[in-house]
Copies of this chain bind each other. A is one copy, B any other.
Amino acid sequence: MAEAPNVFSKQYMLTAGPTPLPPRVSQVMAEPVLYHRAPAFVDIYARCLERLDGVFQTRNPVLCFAASGTGAMESAVANLVAPGEPAVVASCGKFGQRWAELCDAYGAATTHVEFEWGERVDPPRLDAAISGLDSRPGTVYVTQSETSTGVVNDIRALNEVALAHGAVLCVDAISGLGAVDLPQDEWGVDVVVSGSQKSLMCPPGLAFASVSERAMALAADGAGVHPPSRYYFDWARIADGQAQKPPNSAFTPAVTLFRGLDVALELIFAEGLGTVFERHAILARAARAGIEAIGLERFGADDPDANVITAASLPAEIDGAKVPKLMRDRYGVTVAGGQGHLKGRIVRIAHCGYYGGFDIVVALTALEMALRDLGAEVERGAGAAAAQGVFADAGTVPEPVAG
């Protein structure tokens, strides 16, 4: 007798970073490697820098590093904080806490305004915390999309708070940039950092910092601090290279990743940045509706901009840590569980980057199957039905430009 077929052998990687890649992005990285000083690469590099300005919605130079996103975060601390000087961090999850760890590592007098994981950072409370300090902080560090919980903070309001106190706001937009609108120049945000492997539809390994003139000047003032304790992440060094005609990277750039980025940014602008944001919003609505239809509670603040990741609270009566494991090992669908103290308590459905409507259907269906396997009472197809309803209301099953 023939062995039973495995109908779940196909693999679906539906996580919030790395995210799935458009096939054209994957393929271009397999082309022969280019010398970074030769025109064939320099053209690609220059085009990426120009298109990054478009995604960051800025006229700033977007400084590029071969690094994980944390490297760009570190640059915003290493270039702006001096030992003993005040810095404020407002966090509501694991990645917000990283700002505080970075500020501490660089010796800042850190004020850490912590919110519960799942809450949003409250602008009035941040304002009050800053007002209560003995000396004005030069920098305030916040997170746009808190990947550990799915919460998206109100960057516009938080920036107004920072500006009112004369401080530079630094935003970790690693998972949110390109998913949720963040018009940096229009809002007057000084520093926005991001990474390649989330909404920008590339593999991990590139990190970005869009730095305003004001923040660059503040970093240059701080250069009087001895020692500067930065080199690879030194903004002035990177900016000097990128400002040359043609642009010149200070260190050997990750050339294959830039080739991927070039194609990914082309796809983003072929779809249109506004359409990309709207696609993310529809996918998030479908994920929320599906989770509720399955009978789970959505985890995190009831936040209209939470279009990057949708987190669901898992029923207390099942072993929650088994849910993402079963989804992956039994059904081939890789999603992320909770981090830190949320481990086993939530599951996270990602929809940032190269995601379309059927990815949400797959994630919801695999979630139902895993929950049923663990004994939860879940109606088959409830998630898919609810997602379909959202797509029908939106008049579309949103898909990214076929890459």
Which residue of chain B is the closest to A328 with respect to CB atoms?
B38
Give Cα distance in the complex from A2 to B143, angstroms: 61
Minimum CB–CB distance for A329 against chain B, Å: 9
Q: Is the CB of A33 within 8 A of B20?
A: yes
Quick one: given A106-B229, A107-B226, A231-B101, are A252 and B33 in contact (CB under 8 Å)?
A: no
Q: Is A381 interfacial (CB-CB < 8 Å)?
A: no
Please tell me which one of the listed residues B17, B33, B36, B257 contacts residue A21 in the complex, with CB atoms under 8 A apart: B33
Q: How far is the CB of A326 from chain B (nearest CB, A)?
A: 13
B33 and A203: CB pair below 8 A? yes
A27 at the interface (CB under 8 A from B): yes
Q: Does A311 contact B (CB under 8 A)?
A: no
Q: Is A274 an interface residue when CB atoms closer than 8 A count as contact?
A: no
Which residues of the other chain, B, contact A197 by a CB distance below 8 angstroms? Answer: 252
Nearest-neighbor residue (CB-CB) of A107 within chain B: B227
Closest Cβ–Cβ distance, residue A52 to chain B (whole Å): 17
Give which listed residue, B29, B34, B229, contacts A30 with CB less than 8 A. B29
B-contact 0/1 string along A14-36, CB 8 Å cutoff: 01011111000011011111111
Closest to A104 in B: B227
For A38, A107, A204, which residue has the most chain B Cβ atoms within 10 angstroms?
Answer: A204
Query: Chain B's nearest CB lies how many Å from the CB of A22?
Result: 11
Interface readout for A199-235 with B: 1 if CB under 8 Å, 0 if not?
A: 0000111000000000000000000001111111110
Oligomer copy total: 2
CA distance A373 to B174 in the complex (A): 51
Q: Are A15 and B35 in contact (CB-based, < 8 A)?
A: yes
Cβ of A289 to closest chain B Cβ, rounded Å: 25
CA distance A334 to B33 in the complex (A): 12
The residue of chain B having its C-beta at the shortest distance from the C-beta of A17 within the complex is: B252
Query: Separation in Å of the A97 CB from the closest CB of chain B?
Result: 13
**CB distance A204 to B18 under 8 Å?**
no
A162 at interface, CB cutoff 8 A: no
Partner of A34, one of B13, B77, B229: B13
Query: Which residue from chain B places its CB closest to the CB of A233 in the assembled complex?
Result: B232
Residues of B within 8 A of A65 (CB): 67
Query: For the complex, is A255 an interface residue (Cβ under 8 Å from B)?
Result: yes
What are the residues of chain B within 8 A of A26 when measuring CB–CB? 29-33
Residue of A17, A26, A66, A102 ringed by the most chain B CB atoms within 10 A = A66
Contact B231 A18 (CB under 8 A): no
A241-291 at interface with B (beta carbon < 8 Å): 251-257
Across-interface contacts of A203 in B (CB, < 8 A): 33, 254-257
Task: Give chain A interface residues in 327-346, CB to chain B under 8 Å.
Answer: 328, 334, 336
Other than A19-B33, A205-B257, give 16 A-B pairs with Cβ distance below 8 A.
A11-B32, A18-B255, A21-B33, A38-B334, A65-B67, A66-B71, A67-B67, A67-B71, A68-B232, A69-B251, A70-B232, A74-B232, A106-B227, A204-B253, A254-B257, A256-B256
